[in-house]
Structure 1
Amino acid sequence: MTSVNYESMMPRDPFADDPNDPASFLDDEHIEPLSDEERAAVAQDLIHVRECKRVLEPRGILGIYFLCEDCDQLHFYDWDIMATNMIATLEGNVPPVHEPSVEPDPNAYVPWDYALGYLDGLEAR
């Protein structure tokens, strides 16, 4: 399979070429390289995300949600955002900034464990 360039799908940075870009005041993030075990786990999760998209999206499940411990609110991630973040991680890059869905339908998202359980159930047939 060939690589997909998700960067080309992202909107242009509204602060591009702006000398007063607020992000210019942030320190560059240092990314620790993944261990072999971490790399294998992320690669396996990427396979699962792609399979979830293939199987669950036609059934109306657009992605996953989790409860954020920092803000105590649910965060919703669609399958493409999950895949993009995992690809960036595997490439040693910081995942791109993304905007959450506007008023996501909570019924269209499931916990990660549910999604994996659904795939496991399909394989058990």
Structure 2
Amino acid sequence: MNFDWQMPRDPFADDPNDPASFLEDEEPLPPLTDEERVQIEQDLKLVAEFKRVLYPRGIMGVFFYCEDCQENHYYDWDIMAANMRSTLAGELSPVHEPSAEPRPEAYVPWDYCLGYLDGLEAPRF
């Protein structure tokens, strides 16, 4: 796996007692279809645009509701982009932890970001 300088270093890197070392190797990721690759590339461009427009307004990233744990998960713009680049490279997304105390008001849903960009491009009457 390539190290992404924007991601924090794995706290268990080089630790012979890394708890993950006891897990069995996962199956390799199936290759992306052409359609999946195009969609992720488009989403990566959107993340860059979201960050450009929303970060100066105090929006740090997006949140997604997790059906498994029934909680919101918060992702900074750079983490989103790093995850997408990993997927495009055929790698698992790097392990990351959200902020210990994320400020929920600084994160918005993906659809909010799309709507915000659409609003900026709407004709003014």
Aligned-CA RMSD value: 1.6
> 1:23 deviation in Å?
1.0
> 1:25 deviation in Å?
1.4
Mark the runs of 5 or more structure 2 residues left unpaired by the alignment. Answer: none
Query: Any runs of at least 4 consecutive aligned residues in structure 1 with deviations exceeding 6 A, and if so which?
Result: none
* Structure 1 residues 8 and 51, CA gap change in structure 2 (3 angstroms): same
2:95 counterpart residue number: 97
Mark the runs of 5 or more structure 1 residues left unpaired by the alignment. Answer: none
Q: Deviations over 1:79-102 (max 9, x none)?
A: 000000000000111110111012
Question: What percent of counterpart residues are identical?
Answer: 69
TM-score under structure 1 normalisation?
A: 0.88
Matched, 1:26 2:23: yes
TM-score under structure 2 normalisation?
A: 0.88
Aligned length: 121
> 1:11 deviation in Å?
3.6
1:39 counterpart residue number: 37
Q: State whether residues 6 and 84 of structure 1, in contact with CA within 8 Å, keep that contact through their aligned partners in structure 2.
A: no
Q: 1:8 is paired with a residue of what secondary structure?
A: coil
Give the counterpart letter for 2:108 in structure 1: V
- Measured in 1, the distance between the counterparts of 2:107 and 2:77 equals 10
